[in-house]
Amino acid sequence: MIQELVFLVISLFVIAGAAGVVFAQRLFHAVLSLALCLLSVAAVYITLGAEFLAVIQVLVYAGGVVVLFLFAVMLTRSDLQLRREPLESFAPVSAVLFGVLVLFYIARTGFVPQGERALAPGDVASVGQVIFSPKAYALPFELVGILLLAAMVGAIYLARRDERW
Amino acid sequence: MVAEYSWLIPVFPLASFVLILLFGGRLREGGGHLAVAAVGASMLLSLAVISHVVRFGSYESRGISWFGSEAFRFGVLVDPLSAVMLFVVSFVGFLIVVYSLGYMHGDPGVQRYYAEISLFIASMLSLVIANNLVFMFISWELVGLCSYLLIGYWYRKPSAASAAKKAFLVTRVGDILFLAGILVVYREFGTLNLSEVFELAPGVATATLTLASLLLFGGAVGKSAQFPLHVWLPDAMEGPTTVSALIHAATMVKAGVYLVARMYPLFTPESLHVVAWIGGITAFIAASMAVVMTDLKRVIAYSTVSHLGFMTLALGVGGYAAGIFHLLNHSFFKALLFLSAGAVLHAVHSQDIRDMSGLWRRMPVTGTAFFIGAWSLSGLPPWSGFWSKDEIMAAVHSYSTPLFWLTAVTALLSAVYIWRLFFIVFTGRESEQAKHAHEAPLVMRIPLIILSLGALFSGFVVFAGFGEFVQGALEHAPEAAEHASGSVMLLSILLAATGTGLAALTYYRPVISAARVRRALAPVHTLLVNRYYLDHLYYFFATRVVADSARALRGVDEFIVDGTVNGTGRAAVCSGRKLRLLQSGVVQDYASWVLAGAFLLLVIAGLIGGGV
Amino acid sequence: MVTVYHYVFLAAVLFIIGAYGMLSARNAVRVLMSIELMLNAANINLVAFSSYSGTVSGQALASFVIAVAAAEAGVGIAILLVLYRRMRSVNLREAVSMRW
């Protein structure tokens, strides 16, 4: 009972935050809404027993990525009020249809009960075991490192002001 | 023995063809002397072979096979029938080529002329000694080709070109039937060698034989200008007169008659019945048209058609020897008539008999020649035409009475038309053109003289056993045709005399007025002058039926084929024009297409079943 | 009792909102943010399934996703800046030079 209530409240925050991103009039508000959403997702992780992941979510997403977006907003001066243009493309419609389909599939599974949640260890040590063990995700871990390097170099190069370098 | 070299007979003129084609320009007279030499050589060799056949009987060689096939062997068969044909073709051919040296002198295209004449004679010779149906057919087609080339010799003249085309197309119809006949024979007999076919013939069903023989006769109908494929022969007169004499009187047109005679063992009483009637009808309608024609050569052309009808008729009623006998005689007097006509044209430069009259004074030799030819043709005794026509009439008499009376009328008409020609052209007051006429040069006169001798005396071979000789070519002699009985002979003389008399009374001394007869029988006259409207019929068929339906079909083809091709092109372009609008440039549109695609995949996966 | 389906449902809704936003927003920054929403939805799914199965690998994968998402956001914004310098605006409806 308590669990469900907690879940419901947290979900509401997630959804509200998401809605805010899409529908907020001013972009700045949208970014803040994003922050709210991401934090709520961290809460979700905690209810699932993934504490380590929740912390990463807060640090990287709610911390780094949101700041990144704030800079973007400021540098592109797109906080200016944009006139509400009518939605002419069928894009949103397809999103809605897609959503309907997804929900349909979920419903179709028949909600077979999975049994009690087996409490999986969510602490740093266990996660670390999985990430760094060579039989599991050690290689992808290294590759992600290289990816981050590439992304960093790319972003710096793209965004440079000076044509000299 | 000499018969082993009989294959050489067509080779001489063939070589002459090639040589004249290559070097004729450099030779005098366009290579005419070479042609004469070649045909002369063939003639001598033919005579030698003929004497061999007379003394020792038939000769057949095995020949060379076509790529090892047993059914197609190119070999030689010389029997009494081929002997007669060889004689006719080589002898008359030789005389005519000599005549050409004078007649064609000065014409710019003589090289072409002599080359084509040589090829023609070569093909005709190989046709009559071929021992295999395919070999025969090849020669047959070559003969037809040369006819086309020679009719259209003066190709710049539109009427000549179109006449050549007409000749080729009409005989083509016959050729197709001939080919069909060959196919039937092959299917039934499994071989095309004549002797083998004849051996197997008695064992084959009557219906098949009738079919095969009628199809083969179809070829003869085309080549020998029988009704209803006779329409090309009168127009073939567009070619030089020597061509008309050689091809359309003495040799090529005889090929059809030869074919029937050669394939006689395959003919059943039913098919022979058809042959006889077609021959009889042809003879009659041609003679009737000859009476009203005003072009000198045309009258003689219709006469040829009529006499070919006689030969066909003779073969049909069982008068095998009679038909071949007439073939021999006719070659002489018809060639004679054509060549004398040629001399006349050479002198008067017009083909319309209304322009000519009283030519005897200035062209006595030619006139005499024509006179002899006319006498022989009309069937008055004692020259050649009388004997063979008599035999034919006797044979018809014993076969069918209505046909006999038809033939009798035709015989009467024959006398009328030929004497009409003679009297109009050679007697009476000299016309304007006649005043400038001159006798033919020596090189043209000598063949005339020789042919005259032939026209006079060729009939007497009948007393030398010609009939039995010719029938030796057949394994089984046909139903014994009645030989010339006294009453038939008398009737035949009477008919010829009456015809001659009528002509004399109308054209020699104008006792009967031709104009009044014409007025009295006006509808008949119109019918005849319009050639029984057959040409109109064919023309209608060719333009309306064939051409119009071809045009309609072309429309369909254009509509469907072009429509498809152009339509495909247009479809591609159109769809391209529409589809490019999908590229809006807006990234989110593209993203939504991706989403839509994922949507579709999910739906499909869900429908197929299994796990999503 | 909270089942895995609750989380799956939540993730689905989050994803749909993100998709909608990605497709209909005019502002490029908003589009990038919507993309982050979709990635988070995927992550929730990953972690939920992993947790209800008693394994930990879902969390490991989710952390990789977060890393990649961060990288992508960085590069994306860099590109955005270049676009802004060219166009003086980040209205995606105006960036349509690659059309027919």
* Contact yes or no for C92 and B586 at CB 8 A: yes
Q: Please give the torsion angle defined by the CA atoms of residues A59, A62, A64 and A67, in that order, rounded to the nearest 10 degrees.
A: -150
Cβ atoms < 10 Å from Cβ of C51: 24
CA A93/CA B66 separation, integer angstroms: 80
CA distance B268 to B212: 10
Q: Which domain holds residue C78?
A: 4-87
For residue C19, is it within any domain? yes
**Run of H or E including B73:** strand B69-74
Domain-located, residue A153: no
Interface predicted TM-score (ipTM): 0.92
Q: Is the pLDDT of residue B190 over 70?
A: yes
d(CA B101, CA B113): 11
Partner chains of B (3+ C-beta pairs under 8 Å): A, C
Contact B591 A95 (CB under 8 A): no
Nearest to B84, CA basis, from B41, B44, B46: B46
pLDDT for res A82 = 57
B62 to B42, B48, B74, B86, B414: CA distances (angstroms): 21, 20, 8, 20, 44
Domain range holding A106?
2-120
Residue B258 phi/psi, 5° resolution?
Answer: -60, -45
Write out chain B residues lying below 8 Å of A91, CB-based.
588-589, 591-592
Q: Of the candidates A52, A106, A126, which has its C-beta nearest C8's C-beta?
A: A106
Q: Which of B585, B592, B595 sits opposite C96 (nearest CB)?
A: B585
Of B586, B595, B606, the CB nearest to A95: B595
Which residue of chain A is at minimal alpha-carbon distance from B596?
Answer: A94
The residue count of chain C comes to 100
Q: Closest approach of chain C CAs to the CA of B565, in angstroms?
A: 27
Where are the domains positioned within chain B?
268-525, 530-575
Number of structural domains (chain C) is: 1
User: Which of A41, A91, A148 is nearest residue C71 as measured by Cβ atoms?
Assistant: A148
Q: Which two tokens stand for residue B547?
A: 């051409």
* pLDDT (tens place) for every residue of chain A, 165 residues total: 788 899 999 999 999 999 999 988 888 999 999 999 999 999 999 998 889 999 999 999 999 999 999 999 988 876 565 555 555 566 677 777 777 777 777 777 777 666 556 666 777 888 888 888 888 788 999 999 999 999 999 999 988 876 665
- Indicate the residue of C13, C17, C29 with minimum beta-carbon distance to A27: C29
> What does the pLDDT read at residue A152?
94
Q: What is the pLDDT of residues B397-446, one digit of tens each?
A: 888 778 888 898 999 999 999 998 888 888 877 777 667 777 778 888 88
Q: Can you tell me the distance from the alpha carbon of A101 to that of A81, in angstroms, rounded to the nearest whole number? A: 34
Task: Kindly determine whether residue C93 and residue A14, on different chains, have CB atoms separated by under 8 Å.
Answer: no
Give the CATH number of the domain where residue A91 resides.
1.20.120.1200
Instruction: Give first-to-last CA distance, chain B, whole Å.
Output: 99
Contact at CB, C23 and B591, closer than 8 angstroms: yes
DSSP state of B59: E
Backbone angles phi, psi at B73, to 5 degrees: -120, 140
CATH number of the CATH domain containing C35: 1.10.287.3510
pLDDT above 80: residue B7:
yes
CB B392 within 8 A of CB B414: no
Across the range B317-337, mean pLDDT stands at: 89
- How far apart are the two ends of chain A, measured CA to CA in Å? 61
CB contact under 8 A, A50 and C62: yes
Mean pLDDT of all residues in B73-83: 87
Is the CB of A53 less than 8 angstroms away from the CB of C37? no
Show which subunits contact A, needing at least 3 CB pairs below 8 angstroms: B, C
Chain B residues near residue A96 by CB distance under 8 angstroms: none
Overall number of domains in chain A: 1
Q: Is A126 a member of any domain?
A: no
Express each pLDDT in C29-40 by its tens digit: 999 999 999 999
CA B355 vs. chain centroid, Å, equals 30
Give the C-alpha separation, C48 to A161, whole Å. Answer: 44
Are the CB atoms for B390 and B264 separated by under 8 Å? Answer: no
Q: How far apart are CA B287 and CA B406, in angstroms?
A: 11
Go through C21-41 and write b for each residue having 16 or more CB atoms within 10 A of its CB, e for each that does not. bbbbbbbbbbbbbbbbbbbbb
Please tell me what DSSP assigns to residue A126: H
